[in-house]
Amino acid sequence: MVEKNKDSEKHSADISEEKLNALFELTKSINLNASIDELLGIYREILEEKLSIGRLMLLSYDAQWRCILSYGIPTDSLEFAFERAKGYSNLKEITQVHKDAWPEGFDLDIVVPVNHKDDALAFVFLGDLQEGKHGAGSALKHLPYIQTITNILVVAIENKKLAKENIHQTLLKHELDLAKEIQSILVPSVLPHTDELDVAAYYLPYHEISGDYYDFIPLNESEFAFCIADVSGKGVAAALLMSNFQASLHAQIEQTSSLTELVTRLNKNVMDTARGESFITFFIAKFNRLTQTLHYVNAGHYPPILFMENTVNMLKSGGPALGMLPEIPYLKEGIIAITPPASFLAYTDGITELENDQQEEFSIEKLRDLFISLTNAGLTAKQTNDRISSALATYKGRKKYLDDITLLCLRVLKRSQLPLFHQG
């Protein structure tokens, strides 16, 4: 009897040593940054070979429940069994499985939950607890141990996923920073501010990078062009499309003096690049300082405001937005004689569609009236933009900006005195 008890104690000690060695092997592999497949292989070896567990299905939560390991059960019925298993998602204790709820061939006996506080991390379903190396009764005694090593395994897998996600986020931030730097190069860093011409821009991206774009392009000693544009959508895709558009604009504007031809070419470029998935609203104007004539085309953009001789002119002439149609069916160029002093304001829809706490939009009318009052007060282009941006911040109240915001203000103060104005 004494000899039998000694054998039993030695047997229990051997089992405990094997369990500790298996736990050590698993944690060492985790510390050595073993892959998820390697960790699952070690886990399977512990349960199948050391603890004689004949059937297993391990479910883990990663946005949704999924099976990350199974053996000893029919794979062709796994999806159906998986749906059944999700019914145990609120389980807190080790529980016996109702066998009649499972497809033929599964024969699962026990479900072991792995929880963190009130959240379920994983469930391991066990069956065929063989009377093998340590006997079925011994296998049942190992359930707390199985729960522990499953917890260690699942947490390790989660940590690996979080580390991978952190690396991905770091790379994405690097890409965004690079895109932001490139985009800052695309817009002019210096705009004219002379006694003849006063130009200023205000730019507030909704994300780190924007789908809005403005530009001021000297063409020759007597002419310059200026524009504003807005890509449908937000974020990286919109910014990349706008970067391509800016490069195309600068290349094409040197090849033609016709704004309608320029817009037609740009439309083809947007169609080829965006493939119908995005479009660009675009306004471009060309001003001749000698003739004091403004030519413009509005391609689906909110109409810029021209205030001159105490009269408001909304610049609407043009056609549809770029990238909406393979061929532009109509395109009308607007021509206006400018009598200084004249003030011009272009803007994107993030301004006019900005809502307050009562879901009321700021609107074109409010922007127009504010612009007229600021112009009559004799404010500079920069001061005008600053006052409008302050008015927007006050108007939205507690609500957040939901779109990019861009303003381009231009004031023709007097007739040209060639040579070409200096920038400063």
* Phi–psi pair at 306, nearest 5 degrees: -115, 120
Residue 135 and residue 341: Cα distance in Å, rounded?
A: 98
**What pLDDT score does 61 carry?**
76
Query: Is it the case that residue 4 has pLDDT exceeding 50?
Result: no
Task: List Cα–Cα distances, 351 to 184, 197, 252, in angstroms.
Answer: 21, 25, 29
Residue 148 and residue 145: Cα distance in Å, rounded?
A: 5
Residue type, 120: A
Q: Which of 262, 249, 272, 267 is nearest to 327 (CA)?
A: 267
Q: How confident is the model at residue 98 (pLDDT cuts 50, 70, 90)?
A: confident
Q: Is 116 in contact with 105 (CB distance < 8 Å)?
A: no
What are the contacts of 246-251 at 24+ separation with CB within 8 A?
246/186, 246/213, 246/215, 249/215, 250/217
Residue 424 and residue 418: Cα distance in Å, rounded?
A: 17
Residues in Cβ contact with 215 at an 8 Å cutoff, skipping those fewer than 6 apart:
186, 187, 188, 225, 226, 227, 246, 249
**What pLDDT score does 343 carry?**
97
Q: Which of 332, 347, 335 is nearest to 299 (CA)?
A: 332
Q: How confident is the model at residue 21 (pLDDT cuts 50, 70, 90)?
A: confident
Query: Is it the case that residue 180 has pLDDT exceeding 70?
Result: no
Q: Is 157 in contact with 60 (CB distance < 8 Å)?
A: yes
Q: Where in the chain is the domain with CATH 3.30.450.40?
A: 2-163
**What pLDDT score does 177 carry?**
67
Residue 105 and residue 74: Cα distance in Å, rounded?
A: 7
Burial of 178 (0-12, 13-18, 19+ CB in 10 A): exposed
Query: For 38-80, what is each residue's pLDDT tens digit?
Result: 989 999 988 888 888 888 888 887 777 788 888 888 877 666 6
Query: For 242-253, what is each residue's pLDDT tens digit?
Result: 888 988 999 999
**What pLDDT score does 303 carry?**
97
Provide the β-strand partners of residue 200: 409
- Domain 2-163, CATH: 3.30.450.40
Q: Return the DSSP state at 359.
A: S
Q: Where in the chain is the domain with CATH 3.60.40.10?
A: 180-412
Query: For 339-383, what is each residue's pLDDT tens digit?
Result: 999 999 999 999 999 999 899 999 999 999 999 999 999 999 999
> Which range among 158-172, 289-303, 312-326 shows the weakest confidence by mean pLDDT?
158-172
* Phi–psi pair at 90, nearest 5 degrees: -100, 10
Q: Is 380 in contact with 200 (CB distance < 8 Å)?
A: yes
Residue 279 and residue 197: Cα distance in Å, rounded?
A: 32
Task: List Cα–Cα distances, 63 to 47, 54, 158, 221, in angstroms.
Answer: 26, 29, 11, 61
Q: How confident is the model at residue 172 (pLDDT cuts 50, 70, 90)?
A: low
The C-alpha angle with vertex 148 and arms to 56 and 94, in degrees rounded to 5, equals 60
Q: Is 97 in contact with 106 (CB distance < 8 Å)?
A: no
Architecture of domain 180-412: 4-Layer Sandwich (3.60)
The residue to which tokens 């996600």 are assigned: 165
Q: How confident is the model at residue 310 (pLDDT cuts 50, 70, 90)?
A: very high
Q: Return the DSSP state at 101.
A: G
